[in-house]
Structure 1
Amino acid sequence: MEDLMLRFQDAATYDKWVSNEMKFNDPKVAEVLAEAGKILKNPDYVGDVAAIATTTFQDGGAGIVDGSCAMHRQASFIGGILAGDYGAEIVTPADTDVEGGITTFYFPGVSADNKPALGGGEFVGAFSDRPEVQAVQLYLTTADWNNKKASLGGWFSAHLGLDTANVADPVNAVAVEILQNATTFRFDASDLMPAAVGAGSFWKEMTAWVAEDKADKAVLDAIQASWPAS
């Protein structure tokens, strides 16, 4: 939903959806859910639609390894999971001659110049304003630190000075390119919404949407009804 909301609507609309200034059952949200349904509820694309609700995100990508699935939309950490748990060989997009190699690509926008990015992130907080603490915080913002940290593996950032040559994981290297070239970035909507919605009714109702084929309108109305009054 979040990926498609950023693509079929603009960033300002996304922000209003997150804050509930635009209601969860607004026609613009309904439009996006219908677009999601064209993919997620199409058995020719996903096989057993109801099984989506009981398939872990780790197992969701297993079909790419055994060849039963062509594409899997997932976060950047999926490369490590597929390699570690399923023995996949993760390659760069340029490694087209690697037999059985698995690579990644940007989930496109609705036009060539529309390149939104959705993600999560970490923040550094300080509990002292001492000069040496501020100096460390400042150093963490430099290209020098970001490149050295990334070269250790298992980490990357959106720093424009981060060289993808220092990012060992091919999936993470693509993620860096996506972040550096994004026209818009937004954090995951469910993470920003009140917990009762983002970690509650949103999950519950979307599960019913795929597992029980609950109607779009009923799903959106139920989520909106669960939004805290304050």
Structure 2
Amino acid sequence: GVVAKANSKSTIWYRPDSLKELGAQPPKTWEELLSLTKKYKDAGKTPWAVGAGDGWPLTDWFESIYLYKYGPDKYDKLFAGDLPFTDPSVKGALQEMVKIINGENVPGGIERALGTAFVDSIGQVFGTNPKAELYYEGGFVGGIALGEVNPKLRVGKDIDFFPFPTIDPQHGQPLLGAGDVAVAFENNDDVKKLMEFLASPEAGTTWVSTGAIVSPNKGVELSAYPNPLVRKEAQQVREAETFAFDGSDLLPGALGTEWPTVLQGVIKTPDKIDQLLTEFQDQASAEFGA
């Protein structure tokens, strides 16, 4: 197979003018991010928007926190079924997650967030009438914000991103990401030519010109990217020492669709984390054959 396209999911989106007005800088650590969240609240602003109605953005939140807090080795074990979801580390990451995703920090509270779709939540930060200040999701947010939500956004003034902040310094800044793999099912000359083309800088250059994706091919020049946001994302992917693939996309069977539902339950009833994880692990044990 050939990894034909990729995206970073280690990006936190913000409005630079809003941050400047607050007198703040992009945070470099998790504690600084929590402090920025509080600073926005103290200023009478709603810090975060979350499209929890779709579920999958919550999986990316969890994965980023887990990866940055516990490192890529433990992350890989968890999503390969070699570490149970009842391991204390999972609860530890979820407890960090609800420090941000709670009723005080999102427009209309948790119930409203659970009824808000992904693209609509981008609009809560980058629409013409913003209701929140910060947004976590992958590099594709920029293209959606500029293309669908608010074409009048000015890059560097109304929209930008900073890297997901360090949680445990010993793990540094691994990159959470996802990608699409082209797989050949037949072995003939035409298929080989197509696969070779998809693996080439030429194909990557054509694809990245859309501004929607990043090519994992280092032969694709950064100048091929059509705007500063996707160029910045491409550089982040290119310079990453560790690339951790989206864990929920790797879960077998029904686990991949059930896990977002578990996380919706976590943000709605954080006092039931243990129960939710125990029930999910029962399913995981069956799927992984433990």
TM-score, length-normalised on structure 2?
A: 0.69
Whether 1:49 and 2:110 are equivalent positions in the alignment is: yes
Whether 1:189 and 2:247 are equivalent positions in the alignment is: yes
Q: Which moved more, 1:176-185 or 1:151-160?
A: 151-160
Shift of 1:179: 0.8
Which residue in the other structure is 1:139 paired with? 197
Q: Tell me the amino acid that sits aligned with residue 78 of structure 1.
A: V
Which residue in the other structure is 1:16 paired with? 77
Which residue in the other structure is 2:177 paired with? 119
Deviations 1:89-127 (A, max 9, x none): 4554xx34xxxx212222123339722222221112223
Distance 2:227 2:86 in 1: 40
Structure 1: where are the runs of 5+ without partners?
Answer: none
Q: Is the 8 A contact 1:62 1:86 kept in 2?
A: yes
Which residue in the other structure is 1:226 paired with? 283
Which residue in the other structure is 1:38 paired with? 99
Higher relative contact order (CA 8 A, sep 6+): 2
Shift of 1:42: 5.9
Whether 1:171 and 2:234 are equivalent positions in the alignment is: no
Instruction: Write the mapping of 1:35-114 to structure 2, written as runs, cut at 5 A.
Output: 35-41=96-102, 43=104, 45-47=105-107, 48-65=109-126, 66-92=129-155, 95-96=156-157, 101-110=158-167, 111=169, 114=172
More strand by proportion, 1 or 2? 2
Q: Residues 211 and 113 from structure 1, CA distance in 2 versus in 1: closer, same or farther, beyond 3 angstroms?
A: closer
Identity %: 24
Which residue in the other structure is 1:148 paired with? 206
Q: Which moved more, 1:14-23 or 1:69-78?
A: 69-78
Structure 1 residue ranges (4+ consecutive) displaced by more than 4 angstroms after TM superposition:
none
Structure 2: where are the runs of 5+ without partners?
Answer: 1-61
Q: Residues 153 and 62 from structure 1, CA distance in 2 versus in 1: closer, same or farther, beyond 3 angstroms?
A: closer
TM-score, length-normalised on structure 1?
A: 0.85
Q: Tell me the amino acid that sits aligned with residue 46 of structure 1.
A: V
Distance 2:241 2:206 in 1: 26
Distance 1:152 1:64 in 2: 24
Distance 1:85 1:152 in 2: 14
Given the alignment, which residue of 86, 96, 102 partners 1:25? 86
Q: Residues 18 and 177 from structure 1, CA distance in 2 versus in 1: closer, same or farther, beyond 3 angstroms?
A: same
Shift of 1:25: 1.0
Q: What is the aligned residue count?
A: 222
Which residue in the other structure is 1:4 paired with? 65
Partner SS for 1:123: strand
Q: Tell me the amino acid that sits aligned with residue 210 of structure 1.
A: I
Q: Is the 8 A contact 1:24 1:221 kept in 2?
A: yes
Q: Tell me the amino acid that sits aligned with residue 192 of structure 1.
A: L
Which residue in the other structure is 1:216 paired with? 273
Partner SS for 1:121: strand
Distance 1:69 1:172 in 2: 23
Deviations 1:138-193 (A, max 9, x none): 23223233223322443321222222221114432222112111121122111111
Q: Is the 8 A contact 2:98 2:270 kept in 1?
A: no
Q: Residues 56 and 214 from structure 1, CA distance in 2 versus in 1: closer, same or farther, beyond 3 angstroms?
A: farther
Partner SS for 1:157: coil
